[in-house]
Amino acid sequence: MRKPLVAGNWKMNGSSESNKALLEGILSKADTFSDIEVALFPPSVYLQQVQSALTGTGLSWGTQNLSQFEKGAYTGEISASMLVDFGCKYVLIGHSERRCLYAELDLDQCLLDRIIAEKYEMAVRAGITPIICIGESPDEHAVGRTEEVVLRLLDTVIAHQGVEGLAHTVLAYEPVWAIGTGRSATPEWAQDVHSFMRQRVAKHDKEIAKNIRILYGGSIKGNNAAPLFLQPDIDGGLVGGGSLDADEFVKICQAAVLKLG
């Protein structure tokens, strides 16, 4: 049985004060979702605050990105060993906002995928579980290229790291058209995509495919989380806006508990 995971991606939001209230609100209800895994991804400057609030609570934390390089003259970057230093269990890799806004070259999609695969390798080597975000853009969605786009990135990762690396990886299907739009994918649509992702992994290794967690991300809220999470191939969620409000996020975590039956 795959343990559901709900990951809260705070993106570039928060302040010491608002984080404190948010963390307290979530932790006050943590006993209602202690059977699933919950991880928070604050902006890196608040990592220490989140680490000290969550240590010993059963919740995990991580960062929204990491460098593909080990150390040195890479201004503004954060290395895998720094994440280890702060007790990170997870790291987000390849989020579409980074691909679009900071991606080195969106025109050269191959180069982009290689960088993401390198970051993935850095995380795995440091013992941090990467959550690799995969999803099609609105244009790709409109012309029916979802499967091709999603599988291409998955293939790149497998080619770089070998399928064994996926044994320590979480995948997240995040259709760009659903992120921050209030327009979540339907449970049926998301299930279909998750299913073909799992089948692709199964072509390489059936056991890993059975165990790998595939999260859905894109406009998850307390009132739509349960039908998504109850789909057989959806193992939890990667939540943006819905993770910034304690009550909303707690509802989402509680929806994931329903999956346990």
Ligand X SMILES: O=C(CO)COP(=O)(O)O
Annotated binding site for substrate: 9-11, 180, 219, 240-241
SS (H, E, C) 86-148: CCCCEEEECCHHHHHHCCCCCCCHHHHHHHHHHHHHHHHHHCCEEEEEECCCHHHHHCCCHHH
In whole angstroms, the minimum distance from the beta carbon of 125 to ligand X comes to 24
Which residue in 95, 136, 194, 248 is the catalytic one?
A: 95
User: How many CB atoms lie under 10 A from the CB of residue 149?
Assistant: 18
Q: Answer yes or no: 168 catalytic.
A: no
Binding-site residues: 9-11, 180, 219, 240-241
Instruction: List the alpha helices (DSSP H) in 127-223.
Output: 138-142, 146-161, 187-204, 206-211
* Chosen residue from 93, 132, 242, 255 binding ligand X by CB under 6 A: 242
Q: Is 4 in the site for ligand X (CB under 6 A)?
A: no
The answer to whether the beta carbons of residues 192 and 198 sit under 8 Å apart is: no
Q: Of these, 6, 201, 238, 250, which contacts ligand X (CB under 6 A)?
A: 238
To ligand X, the closest distance from the beta carbon of 228 in angstroms equals: 12
Name the residue nearer to ligand X (CB basis): 217 or 236.
217
135 touching ligand X, by CB under 6 A: no
Rounded distance between C-alpha atoms, residue 150 and residue 135, angstroms: 6
Nearer to ligand X, 239 or 256 (CB): 239
- Could you tell me how many residues make up the chain? 261
Near ligand X in 150-189, by CB under 6 A: 174, 179-180
* Alpha carbons 60 and 57: distance in angstroms, whole number: 8
Active-site residue, from 37, 97, 136, 174: 174
Helix/strand/coil for 62: strand
- Site for ligand X contains 9 (CB under 6 A): yes
Our answer to whether residue 104 is catalytic in this structure is no
**Catalytic (active-site) positions:** 95, 174
Q: Which residue ranges make up the site for ligand X (CB under 6 A)?
A: 9, 95, 174, 179-180, 217-220, 238-242
